[in-house]
Structure 1
Amino acid sequence: MTDTAKLLQFVRARRKSFLLVGGAGVVALAALAYSGTGRTQQQPPAQPPVPVRTVMAERRDVRHEIEAVGTVESLQEVVIRSQVDGVLTRLHFAEGDLVRRGQLLATIDDRPQRAAFEAAQAQLARDSAQLRAAELDLARYQSLVARNAISQQMVDQQRAQTEQLRATVRLDSANVETARVNLSYTRIVSPVSGRVGIRRVDAGNLVRTSDADGIVSVAQVNPISIVFPVPQVRLADLRASARDAQGAVVEARDRDGGGRLDTGRITAFDNAFDARTGTGRVRAQFANGAERLVPGAFVAVRMRTGVTPGAVVLPAVAVRPGVEGHFVYRVTNGAVQRVPVTLGYTNDEVAVVTRGIVPGNVIVRDGFSRLRDGAKVTVSGNGAAGTGQ
């Protein structure tokens, strides 16, 4: 064998050894990476328990209530305006007074109206005298024509004149009545019983019938009413409650402190719904003896529409909305279970659960952000521990 052939044989042997060693190294590295990945998937790091606050489902009677915000409205509110033009001579009230129906509030200079009234009376007296004379002449003409002393034409003319004077007297009587009414307008009286507001004109000013602001306003304050909207879905229950003498009570409360202002009863329902809000307007009437309800004020109202006896009750915040319906997280042996529930009556504070849980179940009420079905939890605060179902 030549030197060249020996050299080629040596090179081929070295290349084969290098390929075998390199391939074995790659296989070893791949095996090591696979074994490391398998250990990572089989042993994930443990998640810490989620801190939550819990509440225990209880059984008790639940009153059905509707809450809304209403506006206090006077049952009668009148702007006192002058019905004749003239100078306002005197105001007979103090601002804020409680006045009775028919009570004198203001007087207007009545000299022009009084003069017109006296002129109308004089005109009536004059035409009445002429009518009496014409009636006497007609009676004489009728007796003369019976003896053929005068023509029938003269009698007919006298009768026509008498009828004309009768019409004139009726017109004069209407003028007298008009003048009397205008004279009465110079004494302005309250058409309703209520409380007067702040005067809008002072004595000595010229007032006109076209004045939009008027002289003063009078608002009835006792009784008084509150008008409030009710959702369409709750209106049927409220109507049924209004027919019950014990269930139609409406409480008016202060919006700030929540203190009760007065109690009343529903008196009217509007004849149509508001299509924009899906609500119907309701009016409730209150005695308002202490006058704690002031027209124009916003107040909270609360109405009782019924009661669910022996209901399974949770705080409303413990019930979560979902795509398939409402659900709760029930705590059992340190873990949570997602439980679908069916609700009955609900409001902003409580929820009545008709199916899904029983009294004594421990339910999560706060700490939902990291919860999932089966997650471990730790109860913080004063919540129940949830050691069983």
Structure 2
Amino acid sequence: MKKQSWVFLVGLLGFVALAAFASRSYWMGGNAAAQAPQRPRAVSVTLATAERRQVPVDVDANGIVTPISSVALKSRLETTIVAVHFEDGAKVNEGDLLFTLDSRQIDAQIEQAEGTLAKDQAQLEGALRDLRRYTDLVAKGATTQVNLDNAKTQSDTLTAAIKADQAVIENLKVQKSYTQIRAPFSGRISVANVKVGNFVRPADVQPLAVINQMAPVYVTFSVPQRVLVDLREAMAKSGSRVIATIPGRQSSEEGKVAMVENAVDAATGMITVRGIMDNGNETLWPGTLVSTKLIIRTEESVVVPTIAVQRSQSGNFVFVVKDGIAKVQPVTIDRTFQGHSVISEGLSGDESVVTDGQLLLSDGARVEPRGKKAGA
């Protein structure tokens, strides 16, 4: 019985040792497989192409719309308003009748002056008859030279009086023309500050109404003095443009540079520029604040989406992808334009740059364009 127990114990120990050996071999094989080098997993990224194209050189600024012509209508006479011929805020054309003033007093003065003229003309006719008669008598020796000279003086005096009478009438007619106030140019008129029956005079501070020219209009803004040389060259070639946009609206107007101020503001280093816009649809209203873009010229440049540009302590860079490998490429940014950055140094065009997924990248990392299964 003891011998059988011993045999059973030896067999059991051998089975346990065999199982332990197999278990050790299994776990060692698993660790070896886990520690074997694996191929790095590719990073999924979005790519864009660096393009070489014509890009405008522009300057953004805030501007204000100002009318080319603006006139405050005032009376030149002391009289009353008898008629208003427009609606408040209406569009008026050049020559339209706007106000009619009382002209009865001037009409009476014109009639009086015309009567004086008729009297002097009649007297002149008599003086001329006397002059002719005395001329004949002097030739016959029937009268003295003094009488002839006096007749000639009288005719000359009346001739001068007639000229004065005619001048008085012309002046009164001019005064009467002031009783009809017309639009000096086309535009939009303000509210009428006076109505029918109001007494007006030249000394009044408040105008009868104000007319602003609406088309074309000026847009006035300021730009840094560093662009002055390029701007003047562009103006000489008629290559500069101005785009004015109302903030929050898609509507805009395009025009050209009409004037550059003759001096730079020494306090700010800015210079005033004025653009002229056709504004045929009256998109721009006098006094409106607008966003302006001064386009000086266009030039060929390399551009990439601005989101592709990364920043570090050493400067700006982009990830350039070639043969599935991302490389860090330092770049120099000249300016930005409509969501793109203009590259002056670092890229030549046609390179593939990463626009999304840069946070997982490092120099030399494998990448997979998004749309394919990464690591496939």
Same fold (TM over 0.5): yes
Residue 119 of structure 1 pairs with residue 119 of structure 2: no
**Partner residue, 1:48:** none
Counterpart selection for 1:281 from 232, 250, 272: 272
What SS class does the counterpart of residue 271 from structure 1 fall into?
coil
* Matching of residues 292-307 of structure 1 within 5 Å: 292-307=283-298
List gaps (5 residues or longer) in structure 1: 1-54, 366-379
**Structure 2 CA distance for aligned equivalents of residues 267 and 98 of structure 1:** 25
**Change in CA separation of 1:276 and 1:128 when aligned onto 2, cut-off 3 Å:** farther
**Partner residue, 2:345:** 355
**Partner residue, 1:269:** 260
Are 2:301 and 2:342, in contact at CA under 8 Å, matched by a contact in 1?
Answer: no
- Residue by residue over 1:331-376, the C-alpha shift from the partner in whole angstroms, topping out at 9 and shown as x without a partner, is 89xxx9996x76645679665443367776989x9xxxxxxxxxxx
Are 1:316 and 1:347, in contact at CA under 8 Å, matched by a contact in 2?
Answer: no
**Partner residue, 1:328:** 316
Q: Which amino acid aligns with 1:284?
A: G
**Structure 2 CA distance for aligned equivalents of residues 306 and 216 of structure 1:** 42
Q: Which amino acid aligns with 1:355?
A: E
**Partner residue, 2:221:** 228
* Matching of residues 107-256 of structure 1 within 5 Å: 107-244=100-237, 247-256=239-248
**Structure 1 CA distance for aligned equivalents of residues 359 and 48 of structure 2:** 8
**Structure 2 CA distance for aligned equivalents of residues 243 and 252 of structure 1:** 22
**Change in CA separation of 1:164 and 1:358 when aligned onto 2, cut-off 3 Å:** same
> CA offset at residue 237 of structure 1?
2.2
Are 2:302 and 2:347, in contact at CA under 8 Å, matched by a contact in 1?
Answer: no
Stretch moving more, 57-66 or 127-136:
57-66
**Structure 2 CA distance for aligned equivalents of residues 98 and 337 of structure 1:** 62
What SS class does the counterpart of residue 274 from structure 1 fall into?
coil
List gaps (5 residues or longer) in structure 2: 1-46, 321-326, 366-376
**Structure 2 CA distance for aligned equivalents of residues 384 and 198 of structure 1:** 65
Stretch moving more, 135-144 or 346-355:
346-355
Q: How many residues align?
A: 316
What SS class does the counterpart of residue 161 from structure 2 fall into?
helix
**Partner residue, 1:9:** none
**Structure 2 CA distance for aligned equivalents of residues 143 and 65 of structure 1:** 90
What SS class does the counterpart of residue 102 from structure 1 fall into?
coil
> CA offset at residue 196 of structure 1?
0.9
> CA offset at residue 129 of structure 1?
1.4
**Structure 2 CA distance for aligned equivalents of residues 287 and 383 of structure 1:** 49
Stretch moving more, 232-241 or 150-159:
232-241
**Change in CA separation of 1:65 and 1:384 when aligned onto 2, cut-off 3 Å:** farther
**Partner residue, 1:308:** 299
Give the structure-1-normalised TM-score: 0.70
**Change in CA separation of 1:183 and 1:358 when aligned onto 2, cut-off 3 Å:** closer
Are 1:231 and 1:280, in contact at CA under 8 Å, matched by a contact in 2?
Answer: yes
> CA offset at residue 176 of structure 1?
0.3
